[in-house]
Structure 1
């Protein structure tokens, strides 16, 4: 999994005045948990851009001068009006200790079911997994090029010895449901037709999510 470098400095004072001064200076107060004791530090808000404002899951390499820590972002608080980052909690990673993280799902290919008038339902845009830090995947890439009307892809098809997926095997990740205008054609008739679903790292225009995104 890709790591984002965060260069900061340890905080000697964690009181309200010191925290306010940091924010006024364009810095974000942070805490790293999971070690022997919580570690307080701060870094420029711009340092977190590639970590926070992305659909991808990344780890962080926090450089505090003499101290270097590998961690994942656990919680983040934004200002309700300005959307500035107010505070970030991190959890320290250890090579021999499993961690839980939400991994994004990407759709690859074009669904013949959608081309025939079906409706693509992207039910799980993220999946929670437990794994050792070095086994964390960047994405779950799902090929929908054979997904016809009535078909679905479940968690069971994504199982891997490198990690544990924290959802039942029968959980539907993506499916194609029928619509009134949908038609069923043979495989031979589908060749040469243009797909309506774009994937390759993006969601299809026809994609609809029922029940919202998973935030487990």
Structure 2
């Protein structure tokens, strides 16, 4: 997995957070095992571009006043009204140490049951794994086209996960997605009146002689 680059400036602690945000900067902190926490500031636009690609599963080469440190995004805080980035937590990465990461689960395909008043219910959005940084993956995929009937459920064991590289502590029987019946669909189907048969045209009266 190719590393992404991102610049940052070390904070002195004297800056006011509201002033940083007003200048289109995001306050952030870097921490990790055997790593003393460091407070930095990021350019808003630059982080946005990087985060769109990296998410929380991609290693970022973060430059701190010119000194590089490998990190991943651990937590993102948003403004409750505007949705703007408010604060970023980075976790330092050591190539020789395993880390914890939340890997997104993406559903692909289409279930035939959707044509029979079914709806997809995704039960898990992310799966926490423990692995070496080099073994990180962007996401897991599950093809819901194999769920052909209402009531069917897919489990964690149905995912293709390399257990030699990725440690998952959830039970293999953990449900990840199911097909539910749309509420009231059956009743609505039964109550829908049949279309009336076309009227038979009346026979014409014989012409008077």
Give TM-score scaled by structure 1 length. Answer: 0.72
- The separation in 1 between residues aligned to 2:24 and 2:30, in whole angstroms, is 20
My pick for the range that moved more, 172-181 or 24-33, is 172-181
Structure ID, larger Rg: 2
Q: Which residue of 2 aligns with 1:142?
A: 142
Any conservation in 2 of the 1:127–1:166 contact (CA below 8 Å)?
Answer: no
Cα distance in 2 between the residues matched to 1:132 and 1:175: 31
Unmatched 5+ residue regions in structure 1?
Answer: 183-216
Return the match for 1:164 from 163, 167, 178: 167
Query: Once superposed, what is the RMSD of the aligned Cα atoms?
Result: 2.6
TM-score (norm 2): 0.74
What is the deviation of 1:18?
Answer: 4.6
SS in structure 2 opposite 1:134? helix
Work out the CA distance in 2 between the residues paired with 1:177 and 1:85: 35
- Structure 1 CA distance for aligned equivalents of residues 168 and 114 of structure 2: 28
Counterpart contact for 1:108–1:141, Cα < 8 Å: yes
3-state DSSP of counterpart to 2:158: helix
Q: Is 1:99 matched with 2:99?
A: yes
Matched residue count:
180
SS at match of 2:171: coil
Give 5+ residue unaligned stretches, structure 2.
Answer: 188-209
